[in-house]
Amino acid sequence: MTSPLRLGVNIDHVATVREARGGAYPDPLRAAQLAEAAGADGITAHLREDRRHISDADIDGLMAGLSLPLNLEMAATDEMQAIALRHRPHAVCIVPEKREEKTTEGGLDVAQDENRLAHFIAPLRDAGCRVSIFVAADPRQIEAAHRIGAAVVELHTGSYCDAHAEGRTADRDAELIRLREMAAMADALGLEVHAGHGLTYDTVAPVAALPQIVELNIGHFLVGEAIFRGLPEAIAEMRRRMDAARA
């Protein structure tokens, strides 16, 4: 039997709209509460080092006001580790971060930084957080994530989504095969498998159909689509498409 597929809604870009003007509107916590009512299973927020969208106060508010599990995305820095240890969210997803990038461009090079990352995640695990590592669909990175003791890998779906958006169908299909093989490999190692980045109504179904993947994290498209049909309906439609693909 295929396991259920959770939807984690990433609310970073609600905060992006707020930061365009400063002030307090729109509030990411209110978006998170609407997401819960619309069928989200979790909320993801990325506290970036430059605080370009989600702020420290947002994390305080989400921890205090949210009943869904929070997945805190962050870089592997001492500052972020201290914040995570103070809040102890349900999950911590370690991502690479570059100040000049618009979004998280690739997966974390775990293989390159194995010892440091093993020491970095140990206290988070001891504090009860499920530690997830955001990786490219690359066997070296998945094996390294397993060796350092992560519970979860999140597979970066950006290359698959970019190939789809640019009409490179052969590349898209090759990326999907890679995602399928790497989901199976990670699952065989005992890792829980998540996926996300760039997913839309048009790209979600083939990823949602991969049986080892138990969670998708989706943000930018949903916040964009909310402009046209409202956040609850944007999320509910994603949920329907995920469920249909899973069935």
Residues that bind ligand PXP (CB under 6 A): 10, 12, 46, 73, 93, 95, 103-104, 134, 154, 196-199, 217-221
Establish whether 73 is a catalytic residue: yes
Helices 220-229 and 12-19 pack at an angle, to 10 degrees, of: 70
CB of 200 to ligand PXP, least distance (A): 8
- Closer by beta carbon to ligand PXP, 97 or else 187: 97
CB 232 within 8 A of CB 38: yes
End-to-end CA distance of the chain: 10
Catalytic residue among 53, 73, 192, 194: 73
Q: Active site residue: 146, 164, 194, 197, which one? A: 197
Q: Which is nearer to ligand PXP, 1 or 200 (CB)?
A: 200
Q: Which of residues 1 and 31 has its CB atom nearest to ligand PXP in the complex?
A: 31
Q: Is 197 an active-site residue?
A: yes
C-beta closer to ligand PXP: residue 95 or 193: 95
Six token digits for residue 11: 């609310």
Strand (E) positions, the chain? 6-10, 42-46, 70-74, 91-94, 130-135, 152-156, 192-196, 213-218
d(CA 169, CA 149): 36
| Residue number, 12 or 192, with CB nearest to ligand PXP | 12
Distance in Å, CB of 217 to ligand PXP, minimum? 4
Minimum gap (Å) between residue 115 Cβ and ligand PXP: 23
- Cis amide bond preceding 232, omega within 30: no
Helix, strand, coil percentages, rounded to 5, for the chain = 50, 15, 35
Strand partners, 93: 73, 132
Least spacing, CB of residue 85 vs ligand PXP, in Å = 20
Strand partners, 92: 72, 131
Distance, CA of 71 to CA of 219 (rounded, Å): 13
Catalytic annotation on 46?
A: yes
Q: Which amino acid type is present at position 166? A: E
- Rounded to the nearest whole angstrom, what is the least distance from the CB of residue 134 to ligand PXP in the complex? 4
Catalytic residues: 46, 73, 197
